[in-house]
Structure 1
Amino acid sequence: MPHQTDMPDGSQTNGQRLKRLRMRRRWDQRKLAEASGYSLSAVRKFEQGHRSLDRADVILAFSKALDCHPTEITGQPYTPPDSDRDGQAALASVGAVRRALLRHGRPARPTGQEAAGVDLNTLRERVAAANGHRQGASLTKLGDLLPALLRDLQVSVDVYAGDRRREAYDLLASGYECAMQYLYKLGRSSDATLATERVLWSAEQTEDPLRVLSARWYDAGEFLSIGEHDEAGAIIDGALSTLGAMRADSPEKVSLTGAFHLKASLNHARATDSEAAERHLKKAQKQAELLGHDRNDYELQFGPTNCAIWSVSLPVEMGRGREAVRRAELVTRALPDQYAPERRSHHYIDVGRAYYYNGQHDEAFEAFVKAERLAPQATRMHAGVRETTHTMLHATRRTTLFEFGMRLGVV
Structure 2
Amino acid sequence: MAEDYMGARVRFWRLKRGLSQRTLAELAGMTQGYVSQIEAGTKEVDKRSTLIRLAGALQVSVADLTNLPGPESPELSVAESTVPAIRAALNVARLGEQVEARRSLAEVRAVVAGLAPTWKAARYDQLSLLMPDLLTDLHALAGTGDEQTQRAALRLLVETMHCATSTLRHLNCGDLAMIAADLGHAAALRLDEPLWRGVADYVRLVTLPAESKAITRRLAVEAADRLDGGSGSSEALQVSGMLHLSAAFSAATAEDAADTAAHLDVARQLAERTGEGTFATMQFGPTNVAFWETSIAVATGEGGRVREIARGVEPDRIDSDTRKAAYYIDYGRGLAQTRRNDSEAIASFIRAERTAPQRTRRSPAARESVGTMLRRARANAGGRHLRELASRIGVA
Establish whether TM, by shorter chain, passes 0.5.
Answer: yes
Identity of aligned residues (%): 27
* 1:374 aligned residue (355, 364, 367): 355
State yes or no: 1:126 paired with 2:116. no
1:232 aligned partner: 216
User: In the TM superposition, what is the alpha-carbon distance from 1:338 to its structure 2 partner?
Assistant: 5.7
Cα deviation code 1:330-359 (max 9, x no counterpart): 32xx22266210111101001111111232
Q: CA deviation at 1:388?
A: 0.8
Aligned length: 390
Partner Cα separation in structure 2 for residue 321 and residue 176 of structure 1 = 32
Cα displacement (A) at 1:127: 0.5
Please report the TM-score for the alignment, with normalisation by the length of structure 2: 0.93
Within the alignment, does 1:149 sit opposite 2:134 as a pair? yes
2:18 aligned partner: 26
Task: Give the letter for the 2:126 counterpart.
Answer: K
Superposition deviation, residue 55 in structure 1: 4.4
Alignment check: 8 A CA contact 1:270 1:317 kept: yes
The 1:164/1:189 distance shift into structure 2, 3 A limit, reads same
Q: Could you say what secondary structure the match of 2:283 adopts?
A: strand
The letter for the 2-side match of 1:25 is: R
Q: Within 2, Cα distance between the matches of 1:326 and 1:90?
A: 38
Shift of 1:329: 4.4
Residues 54, 383 of structure 1: 8 Å contact kept: no
Structure 2 letter corresponding to 1:353: R
Letter in 1 for 2:215: E
Q: Distance in 1 between matches of 2:107 and 2:97?
A: 22
Match of 1:183 in 2: 168
Distance 2:137 2:213 in 1: 37
- Helix, strand or coil at the partner of 1:294: coil
Following TM superposition, by how much is the alpha carbon of 1:63 offset from its aligned partner in structure 2, in angstroms?
1.1
d(CA) in 2 for partners of 1:236 and 1:337? 26
Matched, 1:299 2:253: no
The one-letter code of the counterpart of 1:193 is M
Indicate the residue corresponding to 2:250 in structure 1.
267
- Over 3 Å counting, the alpha-carbon distance change for 1:72 and 1:364 in structure 2 is same
Q: Distance in 2 between matches of 1:220 and 1:157?
A: 23
Q: Which of 364, 370, 394 is the matching residue for 1:383?
A: 364
Q: Tell me which residue corresponds to 1:258.
A: 241
- 1:93 equivalent in structure 2: 82
SS in 1 for 2:93: coil
Q: 1:234–1:287: structure 2 CA closer, same or farther, 3 Å change rule?
A: same
- Partner residue of 1:70? 62
One-letter amino acid of the structure 2 residue matched with residue 122 of structure 1 = E
Partner of 2:228: 244
Q: Which of 294, 312, 328 is 1:330 aligned to?
A: 312
Residue in 1 aligned with 2:27?
35
Are residue 216 (structure 1) and residue 206 (structure 2) matched?
no
Q: Distance in 2 between matches of 1:388 and 1:62?
A: 18
Unaligned runs of 5+ in 1: none
Q: Deviations over 1:241-290 (max 9, x none)?
A: 212333x3211221122111111111111122233212211110001111
